Amino acid sequence: MILVSPSSVSDLRTHNSLYNKPSFFPTLARLSPRCFIAPRCSSSVQEIEKSSSPSDDRQLSSELYASAPFPPVKVAKRVVLVRHGQSTWNAEGRIQGSSNFSVLTKKGEAQAETSRQMLIDDKFDVCFSSPLARSKRTAEIIWEAREPRIITEYDLREIDLYSFQGLLKHEGKERFGPVYRQWQVDAANFIVDGHYPVRELWERARSSWDKILGHDSRSILVVAHNAVNQALVATAIGLGTEYFRTLLQSNCGVSVLDFIPRSEGGSPHICLNRLNQTPGSPVAGGKSAGRKTNKQIILVCHGYTQGNAEDGFLLAGHQQLNMLGLIQSQKSAELLLDLRVNSIISSPNKACIGTANAISQVQEAADCLGADCVPRYVEMKQMENLAVETIFQQSKDISNFSAIHPGWLNKIEDGVRTTLWNESGKAWQSLLEELSDEGSSSEVVVVVAHPAIHIALMGHCLNLSKEWFGSFHLDAASVSVIDFPDGRKGRGVIRCINYTAHLGRWSIPITRSTEDSEEF
């Protein structure tokens, strides 16, 4: 690896010309990528060779790059991905790519320290890190004095952006024009210096999984970058390059993937347990996929009832919240306190209504600090399509299902899952209609329902199918956030999934010990 320390940004741009030389990145030089077309399944292997090459002038269609089978695992493994803290080039708005000239800012080091505290009680067997300084320093702060030493993995470096690296964003627009625009709106087909950076990244991320899972360990920490962590998550659950920028990775955001062995062997079942657990609030506004967003749908799972223990959570929503559920609902309401929620839409089941009421009461009182003020009105609605418990009652045998295990939805009968998918599709369209077409107006819609319906809603947002049910997991009282940077008719961006840190002492740990059990 070549490390250069230029004395100025102008020197850096001179060095960027090296990226056009095959000798600089021998493993990437003039690649002839293989495009994979397959059914939407995380373990699909159908492969079709395409005649295109990186030097083709014609624009290639955006296709799913389905992952090849993952190496089998003998015991359950959990992989925790962390993006590096804020860097000097993040702060400047400069395009970093795989260059190694930026370092953590003071804020970035503080974010890494917060992540260390988040993970301080977790027992990791090994830590993999990108070789770039901003990620290595983040890994060192989080890993601290743990053993063994951090493993530096070259393929975990950030996306290679060649001539774009080192430019301020406005310089990219001025210098590259339509090419820069394609990087913004059609990254999968973006080509620079004869390379398709996102396609190369997806292949590199997939090969990284073989090395990570091949290590003899069960709890693995990986510290890397925004784009490569996106690619690691996407390739794990079988999503292609067209999903670049739809699974957000904030500075020091933490994502968790479970790899569970199958009884028949072969590629493990893979479940995204958490996405982008940030040191700060996950509902805070700001940029999403590089663009300002002011429209959000926030998915809140209802709190605990007695049915959580008696019925394995499937029918828990029919009952009133118990004491823990009331505390969880209040905590969720406090998390949303700084937002100006426009409407709260709830399943008609008792637990969901109880959670929705708690959020509504806090919202309406938030602006009422003086004796003469009038509480703000927050519209509340109930939506029958969100009543998943009614759907589960159609199942012949739900007594053996536990919603705490990753992939549990795949065990429900196909007919019940089909009904769930269809009803959630109707609900998703109704929820989009709650958002206006006015791009400048800020809108927040909160949806309170069972975890299963929220998993389905996220599937519709990502244009997936019911076969993806087992690829996501949500806990009781968790919060997930969907941004719409291009308005309701644009593509939704998943800001976070299964956030529970707001629950404090009642939260679910980011990792769970696997010392005594092969199940998480």
Other CB atoms within 10 A of residue 273 CB: 23
Determine whether the annotation assigns residue 52 to a binding site: no
For residue 264, indicate whether it is catalytic. Answer: no
| 3-class DSSP string for 36-71 | CCCCCCCCCCCCCCCCCCCCCCCCCCCCCCCCCCCC
Determine whether the annotation assigns residue 7 to a binding site: no
* DSSP assignment letter at 168: B
CA distance 68 to 42: 8
Cβ neighbourhood burial of 151 (10 Å; 0-12, 13-18, 19+): middle
* Contact call for residues 321 and 302 (beta carbons, < 8 A): yes
The alpha carbons of the chain give a radius of gyration, in whole angstroms, of 23
Determine whether the annotation assigns residue 86 to a binding site: yes
Determine whether the annotation assigns residue 225 to a binding site: no
Determine whether the annotation assigns residue 46 to a binding site: no
Determine whether the annotation assigns residue 84 to a binding site: yes
Annotated catalytic residue within 63, 158, 200, 242 = 158
* Contact call for residues 437 and 489 (beta carbons, < 8 A): yes
Tell the residue number behind the tokens 């600090």, with chain if given: 369
Determine whether the annotation assigns residue 88 to a binding site: yes
For residue 84, indicate whether it is catalytic. Answer: yes
* Contact call for residues 482 and 39 (beta carbons, < 8 A): no
Determine whether the annotation assigns residue 488 to a binding site: no
DSSP tally for the chain: helices H, then strands E: 14, 14
Determine whether the annotation assigns residue 50 to a binding site: no
Determine whether the annotation assigns residue 286 to a binding site: no
* DSSP assignment letter at 300: E
Please, what is the Cα angle at 322 between 320 and 327, to 5 degrees? 115
Tell the residue number behind the tokens 């930026």, with chain if given: 102
Q: What residues form the annotated binding site?
A: 83-90, 134, 169
Active site residues: 84, 158
Q: Which residues are annotated as a binding site for substrate?
A: 83-90, 134, 169
